[in-house]
Amino acid sequence: MNKYELCVVVSAKVDDEVRTATVDKCKEYITRFGGTITDVEDAGKKKLAYEIQKMKEAHYYFIHFDAEASAPYEIENHVRLMENVLRFLCVRQDEA
């Protein structure tokens, strides 16, 4: 099992319930593909470096999880299709 971090940038134009549902759906994808969530960090609303879909701010979430090497590919394929996710990035964390 490898350690991964999924960063999800969620639109600031949606209300709290939709934003929570979006993050829950990301967590559901992780568990569906054999991952075990270790931590979910809500980094809050932050200013974007550049405009994305005419938005200057968005909510950032960092989801830490353990999974096999094939899981991030499957998770990314599903998160890519989510409507309220502006950007995402899944990286493997070092064992240092």
Give pLDDT tens digits for 19-64.
999 999 999 999 999 999 999 999 999 999 999 999 999 999 999 9
Handedness of CA 15, 16, 17, 23 (dihedral sign): positive
Burial 85-94 (b: 16+ CB within 10 A, else e): bbebebeeee
CATH class of 2-57+69-86: alpha beta
pTM tops 0.85: yes
Q: Averaged over 3-15, what is the pLDDT?
A: 94
- How confident is residue 96, by pLDDT bands cut at 50, 70 and 90? low
Q: Return the H-helix or E-strand segment holding 72.
A: helix 71-79
Quote the CA–CA distance of 49 and 34 in Å, as a whole number: 33
Number of alpha carbons in the 13 Å side-chain half-sphere of residue 96: 3
What is the structure's pLDDT at 94? 80
Q: Where are the domains of the chain?
A: 2-57+69-86
